[in-house]
Amino acid sequence: VYEHYTKTGNSVKITFSNIDGLDLRQSHIQFNGLHIGDLESMELDKTNINRFIVTANIYSKYNYLVKEGSIFYKVSPKLSLDGASALGNVLKGNYIELIPPTKNVYKLKMIKKQFDFDGFDEKPKTSGTIFNINSSDGSFGVSSAILFKGVQIGEVIKKSIEEYNIK
């Protein structure tokens, strides 16, 4: 009973384009290797069948890490020509990693709380600002370059289909 009440914290909703590899019994939320929360449910988004909503409980003593601008991404084993990563997850299972908007605890306290997030299928390549770009034809894809005066200043890290009412 004590453990239940000390772990009960804020519930957050994280939207993913797929939940492949996540398991309610094994997957959890981590911050720099520390287990800070558990998955409560995974379900199909009723308003958009191309998205899944993962509800997670962040333990009360770590609620201060989850603020506006936090990033959540899935960590799963990858094997490619560039190398291997997260191979330990083959035995332990996949999890969701949290990146708070700042590592400065004093600044973190000043940032507003947030409870709904867009999750990423992998760690964003670089730090920076994340923007939502809408396209009527969807002509860009994941890893497409974002250019300013011919110089690459960023890249597309996630692509999703949103449901719109066309009149």
> In the chain, what percentage of residues exceed pLDDT 90?
47
Q: Is the overall model pTM greater than 0.75, yes or no? A: no
How far is it, in rounded angstroms, from Cα 90 to Cα 67?
30
CB atoms within 10 A of CB 166: 4
The full DSSP string for 96-164 is EEEE-S-S-HHHHHHSPB--EEEEESS--SS-S-------SS----TT-EEEETTEEEEE-----PPP-
Q: Which of 90, 83, 105, 70 is nearest to 26 (CA)?
A: 90
Q: Does residue 50 contact residue 17 with C-beta atoms inside 8 Å?
A: yes
Task: Give 57-115 pLDDT, tens digit per residue.
Answer: 999 999 999 999 999 999 986 655 555 555 555 456 789 999 999 989 999 999 999 99
Higher pLDDT, 8 or 43: 43
How far is it, in rounded angstroms, from Cα 133 to Cα 145?
13
Q: What is the pLDDT of residue 78?
A: 63
pLDDT-based confidence at residue 5 (cuts at 50, 70, 90): low
78: Cβ–Cβ under 8 A, 6 or more apart, which residues?
A: 84, 85, 86, 122
